[in-house]
Structure 1
Amino acid sequence: MSSLSQTPLDERAEKLRDAPGSRVVFADDAAYDVARMPWNVAVDQRPFAVATPESAEEAVEIVRAATAAGLRLAPQSTGHAAAGLAESGLDDVVLVRLSALRGVTVHPDTRTAIVLGGSHWNDVLAAAAPHGLTALHGSAGDVSVAGYSLNGGVSFYARAYGLGVNAVRAVQIVTADGSLVRASARENTDLFWAVRGGAGSFGIVVSLEIDLLPHADVFAGMLLWDASFTPAVSRAWVAWTASVPESVTSTLRVLHLPPLPELPPFLSGRSVVVVDGAILESDARAEELLRPLRDLAPEIDTFGRIPSAALVHVHMDPPQPTPAVTRHRMLTSLPQQAVAAFVAASEDPGLFVAELRHLGGAAARPAADAGAVSAVAGDYIVHGIAVPPVPEAGPAAVAAATAFVDALEPWAGKGLALTFLDGGADRAPGFGASIERLRALKAEWDPRNVFAAANPVPMARD
């Protein structure tokens, strides 16, 4: 609950309009519908206004002007996970789009990068590749570094290196009082702990420093079969994941692909089962590890040595803004009954993606210098995605994604992966044992609940 001013909204608009200037867009402006549109276009987010700062100083101005006008703020880089934010209510919220704050500076000697708050992973990979470096990025290059990293971040290197949040070394953040502060292991240490998991609930991150990885290339790719092979491939993949080393991170997916002209003819309108991932081993060792899956004679096999920057293309995430409904659970085990449940539930044609992602390893071990979130408890993620082509299809998409993950509920643990959340869930399990300290620090750094977030840290209980 916000405790900000109850000044009428039209008066707040005038105060806000006069301060940061023409880069603030209101609902009656022609540019509003474009400015408010998130990547997940199934979400109809309608904030009070949209502001697009072009510098850290402008972000400070926007925070000061909005709070002086009695308004709240919500940082957003791309809006891949927009549903949670929209569910929180945006009638009195200024959406701060960070799309103009993009840029990366790589320091190869320390294997770190300074990343502006609106930057995408593609920006980091392009800057790091000439130095033979890469990063703990996700499966899509157009996801923002800040939102992904500060909400956990699950990559195809996760079993070997842990969550992306543990690569964050410092942030520059605009706090609720309009101050631009640096938070790190040496400065504002409580805030640094909180933002690594609490993310947008504590301010607007205008830049962050992250560790890079010493991999110029990686053995990665995908294996693809017709969906009729789903039972055999699923059983083999689950058995395989029980034996592979932590150098292997992979995903099993059943895809129900619509008949779209932009898809290759061999995929358009088909249902297929895919195993993809990355193997941080020599070519010979990787080939040896893959043999049990290749023995199933995949229709397509792209595994091989590729530039590390190309890893973001392996998962085949949609390259354009897409309407999507997602649900997930963390699983503690996958016995044969669970595999059978996955296979049966994956046949629902209302799903776009039925996914199992192998985790455990370093992703399940809290980091020594951990923030609020540094690991996820569980060996697998089950993840369902449905695509509502029109708003009227939204309830059916929610039902399909929910039913799919509910089929694996008997094997679910208590935790959640924050970067897989996009509405429709209690966030508290994603924060785990850190929730009470996060509440206390939220009250300290944002006592008036100025900041709204896709994964909100609730205010301390009375």
Structure 2
Amino acid sequence: MTFSDITTDVRGDRLREALGARVILPGDDGYDEARLPWNVAVDQRPFAVARPESAEDVVGVVRAAVASGLRVAPQSTGHAAGALADTDLSETVLVSLAGLRGVTVDPETRRARVLGGSVWNDVLAATAPLGLTALHGSAGDVSVAGYSLSGGLSFYGRGQGLAVNSVRAVQLVTADGSLVRASADENAELFWAVRGGSGAFGVVVSLEIDLLPYADVFAGMLLWDASRAAEVSHAWAEWTASAPESATTTLRIMNFPPLPELPPFLSGRSVVVIDGAILETDAAAAALLEPLRALAPEMDTFSRIPAASLVAVHMDPPGPTPSATAHSVLAELPAKAVEAFLATASVPGLFFAELRHLGGAIARRPEHAGAVGSVAGAYLMHTVAMVPVPEAMPGADAAVRAGIAALAPWRTDALALTFVDGGGVDRAPGFGTAGIRLKELKSRFDPNGTFAAAHAV
């Protein structure tokens, strides 16, 4: 008998027998809630949802899924659930790692062990009392594993590089149901592959990351009405052309509907914002910001703040948000590109258009790097549209893609994998020259294609 001969009911019964209450099937109470990702615009309908709470639970899930001829898709939060849009989940067990959270910090080695479902807020809560922080992103509720192992762009990035390069060890459950530790000295090829290949090589149950010795940081935002967008955008582009690697900033044009839950300075308005962090003394940072402050922003919050507060600077949505996104990496940002960006940001219905300053250590690949270790480009263009109802998704998707297309003349052949959150995206530019070796290692470590990853290898 082959797996194709086994009925759906039999497979479901096998999973329930092996995993008990750890698995939820369609028709069970709680299935719709369990399958819901952070990006609630994505309607993922897996064969089952498994909810492990330990590494041993994950071993059991993988073994039970394989024994039933099912695939496995790891998911910590579902921020990038749209990246699974090209994957048929009808015969896939979605492994929700939300119950596998915890952080242990060694202040002497400045290293943290982070469980696979942990988010950056968990890390910051554990590191801040010790005067430490990490290469986290702009939102505290993003998973550490998914973000880090797919690259990870931080407001420390131009000075410190991608977050993936801070990963020193990974513990994961592989396709044969083994619990394996991978590091530079142990299962080195798997360690190389998972740093970029991420969930394509197993379910990550923990990882060890290096920390940064920053108790505080000079960071914040400058805000103007969108009527100043052209002036501010051209000034920022000129400013970033010579900004030191200690400064990592973002320019955004943001269009907000009139919502009561928004603060008055945002509700019903369009604004242009520059935010980020500067790894300098207060005096040096202030001197560096002077050309931008000379534009008389309506709000200026740049100051010395606790490092753990950096995740609030970018004003990412505080809870699950339905959205469509797209991005590209730009080789340069001349005046004509800025004009194209400004035109994009005025598209009706587009929530925001964003330019992130790359370069510096982000573009330099360390000797110890894995499959992904850098992003070759000067800027990242990112567009986001809200999807208030499912019927709005086609229009929102078209808007964000049109925004990216407008800057195509300046695009370079690269991707930031953590910004991929939709179907139909070729991941090859994100893997670069590592792609061939990644495919070879995927065939070795997962010959039957057990793992369905957000970024397929």
Q: What TM-score, normalized by structure 1, do the two folds share? A: 0.98
Shift, 1:4, TM fit:
6.6
Deviations 1:408-441 (A, max 9, x none): 0000000100000011311111111111100000
Shift, 1:367, TM fit:
1.2
Q: Distance in 2 between matches of 1:266 and 1:370?
A: 43
Q: Secondary structure at the match of 1:140?
A: coil
**Aligned amino acid, residue 11 of structure 2:** R
Deviations 1:28-56 (A, max 9, x none): 11210000000000000000000000100
Q: Distance in 1 between matches of 2:155 and 2:454?
A: 23
Shift, 1:368, TM fit:
1.1
- Aligned position for 1:229: 228
- Aligned position for 2:398: 399
**Aligned amino acid, residue 368 of structure 1:** E
Residues 165 and 374, structure 1, Cα contact 8 Å, conserved in 2 = yes
Q: Distance in 2 between matches of 1:219 and 1:364?
A: 23
- Aligned position for 1:436: 436
Q: What TM-score, normalized by structure 2, do the two folds share? A: 0.99
Q: Secondary structure at the match of 2:333?
A: coil
Q: Distance in 1 between matches of 2:456 and 2:267?
A: 39
Deviations 1:261-287 (A, max 9, x none): 111122101000000000000000000
- Aligned position for 1:14: 13
- Aligned position for 1:383: 382
- Aligned position for 1:150: 149
Residues 4 and 450, structure 1, Cα contact 8 Å, conserved in 2 = no
Q: Secondary structure at the match of 2:85?
A: helix
Q: Distance in 1 between matches of 2:243 and 2:116?
A: 36
Q: Secondary structure at the match of 1:250?
A: strand
Deviations 1:185-238 (A, max 9, x none): 000000000000000000000000000001000000000000010000000000
Q: Distance in 2 between matches of 1:5 and 1:211?
A: 45
Q: Secondary structure at the match of 1:322?
A: coil
Q: Distance in 1 between matches of 2:406 and 2:344?
A: 7
- Aligned position for 1:449: 449
Q: Distance in 2 between matches of 1:271 and 1:15?
A: 54
Residues 133 and 212, structure 1, Cα contact 8 Å, conserved in 2 = yes
Q: Secondary structure at the match of 2:19?
A: coil
Question: Taking every aligned residue pair, what percent have the same amino acid on both sides?
Answer: 67
Distance 1:138 1:4, change over 3 A: farther
- Aligned position for 2:61: 62
Q: Distance in 1 between matches of 2:126 and 2:402?
A: 41
Q: Distance in 2 between matches of 1:390 and 1:427?
A: 28
1:45-444 residue pairs with structure 2 within 5 A? Answer: 45-424=44-423, 425-444=425-444
Distance 1:222 1:443, change over 3 A: same
Distance 1:4 1:426, change over 3 A: farther
Shift, 1:181, TM fit:
0.5
Shift, 1:6, TM fit:
5.3
Where structure 1 has 5 or more consecutive residues not aligned to the other structure, the ranges are 458-462
- Aligned position for 1:460: none
Deviations 1:287-325 (A, max 9, x none): 000000000000000000000000000000000100011
Shift, 1:407, TM fit:
0.5
Q: Distance in 1 between matches of 2:6 and 2:72?
A: 16
Q: Secondary structure at the match of 1:19?
A: helix
Q: Distance in 1 between matches of 2:415 and 2:211?
A: 26
The answer to whether the aligner puts 1:24 opposite 2:23 as a matched pair is yes
- Structure 1 vs Structure 2 CA RMSD: 0.9
Deviation beyond 4 Å, 4+ runs, structure 1 = 3-6
Q: Secondary structure at the match of 2:373?
A: coil
Shift, 1:5, TM fit:
5.6
Q: Secondary structure at the match of 1:236?
A: helix
**Aligned amino acid, residue 236 of structure 2:** W
Residues 72 and 452, structure 1, Cα contact 8 Å, conserved in 2 = yes
Q: Distance in 2 between matches of 1:5 and 1:250?
A: 52
Aligned length: 455
**Aligned amino acid, residue 105 of structure 2:** V
Q: Distance in 1 between matches of 2:430 and 2:3?
A: 28
